[in-house]
Amino acid sequence: MKPMKKIDTYIYKLGLWAGAALSLTACVDEDLSDCPPNVEMREITVSYQIDLQHGVDPEFEAELLSLHLGFWNSPQNLYRDLVFQPEDMPEELFFKVTLPVDNYDHLAVANHNNDRVGGGLHTFDNVLEDVVVDETPISPDTIKALAYPPFSGVLSMRMEEEKTEHYTVLMSPVVGKVKLHVNHPETMRNIKCYLSRTQQGFLCWEDAYISNDRLRTDASDFKVTEAARLTEFEFYSYPCTGGSVYRRAEGEGHWKLYFYSECEDRTIQHIFTVEDPIRAGRVLEATFNISDGSGEAVDVTAGVEINTDWKPGNDYDQEM
């Protein structure tokens, strides 16, 4: 697989074509013989770059691993979409497109889903406002943390009203990065990590997050260090909640962090209420100290149960 580059401006030549749809036809750039004679065609270029207004922290992985492009010629009609998986991604991307002159809403998603090799396997909804970046649950109300951060970008292309030949799509991250350092005695092993009160997905065109109060995120598989007295996790997660649906600029609330560890013949649970928010494009790094005397022994024979019913100001210790 070719090495990936950081997102600046990527260039790749693209022939965009589709069958008849609402009396519109797109055709391959190199061969215009199939283009309808009575429809005005226009060649444009599209490039993609990080939205510097939102920005990302230096340790945030700003790479384009896969890309999914969609063009809507009405809010209820996905006229054309294209998926570029990691093995198809060239080193430089310049999108050269020939389209019938019309007004389009364009949406792009990068790095979705978790799998680096199979990224971009999600589908776009035919209704523009319903396009969402989210994860397939691994069990009811449970998703895995992410290995790579999804980006989203939108743009209105008013070809009927303007003569623009080049368009730039600003890509913004929709998740935050979390780095956790867990100090523990040697008697505590096989630390597992869960989060609750984080978002479930992101509505791209609406620039809004979707919340599920019962959602939990499993980050147990994202250990980067597993030593006798130290376990470290590093992963990407949707931001913490701020309402059932809230926009990127609105406030964010508390969230919860759960650690489960094996200690002799017991499983010990530690719960932390965290005030520092998980923000899109930002890196949250925190250290926690747990011991076999400070947690609660739980019965996990029926599986891990996480109670997400809580209120800010409870008496769980917070060690940040």
Cα dihedral 76, 18, 98, 101, rounded to 10, equals -40
CATH code (residue 154): 2.60.40.2580
> Over 70: is that where the pLDDT of 245 sits?
no
Same domain, 286 and 204: yes
Pick 15 or 114 by higher pLDDT: 114
What pLDDT, on the 0 to 100 scale, is given for residue 261?
95
95: tokens are 């999108």
Same domain, 156 and 185: no
> 319 lies in a domain?
no
Q: Mean pLDDT across the stretch 242-270? A: 74
Instruction: Encode 139-168: b = buried (16+ Cβ within 10 Å), e = exposed.
Output: eeebbbbbbbbbbbbbeebebeeeeeeebe
- How much is the mean pLDDT over the chain? 78
> 312 lies in a domain?
no
Q: Mean pLDDT across the stretch 178-182? A: 97
How far does Cα 91 stand from its chain's mean position? 22
Partners of 69 in the β-ladder: 82, 108
Q: Mean pLDDT across the stretch 61-68? A: 84
Q: Percent of the chain scored above 90 by pLDDT?
A: 45
> Over 60: is that where the pLDDT of 172 sits?
yes
> Over 90: is that where the pLDDT of 181 sits?
yes
* Domain of 200, in residue numbers: 177-298
Same domain, 121 and 189: no
CATH code (residue 195): 2.60.40.3740
> Over 90: is that where the pLDDT of 208 sits?
yes
pLDDT confidence band for 254 (50 / 70 / 90): confident
> 196 lies in a domain?
yes
d(C-alpha 244, C-alpha 199), whole Å: 9
pLDDT confidence band for 202 (50 / 70 / 90): very high
Q: Mean pLDDT across the stretch 267-281? A: 92
Of 132-146, 148-162, 243-257, the poorest mean pLDDT is in 243-257
d(C-alpha 248, C-alpha 234), whole Å: 23
Nearest to 167 by CA among 45, 29, 8: 45
Pick 70 or 39 by higher pLDDT: 70
> Over 50: is that where the pLDDT of 289 sits?
yes
Same domain, 28 and 147: yes
> 1 lies in a domain?
no
What pLDDT, on the 0 to 100 scale, is given for residue 105?
95
> 133 lies in a domain?
yes
Q: How many domains does the chain have?
A: 2
Pick 264 or 181 by higher pLDDT: 181
> 2 lies in a domain?
no
Same domain, 276 and 189: yes
Say how many C-beta atoms besides its own lie within 10 A of residue 224's C-beta: 11
pLDDT confidence band for 310 (50 / 70 / 90): very low
Q: Mean pLDDT across the stretch 28-51? A: 68
Q: Which of 173, 202, 236 is the last residue of a domain?
A: 173
Same domain, 140 and 255: no
Q: Which of 173, 207, 223 is the last residue of a domain?
A: 173
Q: Which of 128, 146, 173 is the last residue of a domain?
A: 173
The DSSP secondary-structure symbol of 250 reads S
What pLDDT, on the 0 to 100 scale, is given for residue 286?
95
Which residues, including other chains, have CB under 8 Å from residue 58's CB and lie 6 or more apart?
A: none
Torsion sign across C-alpha atoms 62, 130, 74, 28 = positive
> 12 lies in a domain?
no
Most confident of 46-50, 93-97, 229-233: 229-233
Q: Could you report the per-residue pLDDT of 70-120, keeping only the tens digit for each? A: 999 999 999 888 887 888 776 666 778 888 889 999 999 998 864 444 444
> Over 70: is that where the pLDDT of 268 sits?
yes
Q: Mean pLDDT across the stretch 172-184? A: 95
Same domain, 37 and 128: yes
pLDDT confidence band for 163 (50 / 70 / 90): confident
pLDDT confidence band for 128 (50 / 70 / 90): very high
Predicted structure pTM score? 0.79
d(C-alpha 28, C-alpha 50), whole Å: 29
Same domain, 148 and 241: no
Same domain, 163 and 252: no
Same domain, 38 and 149: yes
> 262 lies in a domain?
yes
Same domain, 221 and 87: no
> Over 70: is that where the pLDDT of 192 sits?
yes
Tell me how far CA of residue 282 lies from CA of 193, 240, 304, in angstroms. Answer: 20, 12, 29
Q: Mean pLDDT across the stretch 214-233? A: 96
Same domain, 274 and 207: yes
Residue 12: exposed, middle, or buried by beta-carbon count in 10 A (0-12, 13-18, 19+)?
middle
